[in-house]
Amino acid sequence: MTEIRFSAEQKADLVQRLQAYFDIELDQELKQFDAEFLLDFIARELGVHYYNQGLFDAQAALSNRLDSLTEAIDELEKPLPSRR
């Protein structure tokens, strides 16, 4: 698996969200460097779990769609003429 990477804009948004969370929920100031460090840790250590769950969910959704498609094709099947 490749490393989880964010664009500069995404990273800035995520860092800001972490800082806001720490400020509102924990009443703690999280400085820019610390927030970036924490974000890197979360992406590296926890991100893989979310990534894998996303793949599992996508695979299940695709499997369900494929089952529906298979059923639709089966419904189109015409009966073979009987031999007399």
The string of DSSP letters for the chain reads -PPP---HHHHHHHHHHHHHHHHHHS-----HHHHHHHHHHIIIIIHHHHHHHHHHHHHHHHHHHHHHHHHHHHHHPPPPPPP-
Is 36 within the bounds of a domain? Answer: yes
Task: Count the domains in the chain.
Answer: 1
Is 81 within the bounds of a domain? Answer: no
Q: What is the pLDDT of residue 84?
A: 74
pLDDT (tens, 9 = 90+) of the chain, 84 residues, equals 677 889 999 999 999 999 999 999 999 999 999 999 999 999 999 999 999 999 999 999 999 999 999 999 999 998 899 887
Is 32 within the bounds of a domain? Answer: yes
Q: What is the pLDDT of residue 62?
A: 96
Domain that holds residue 27: 8-75
Q: What is the pLDDT of residue 2?
A: 73
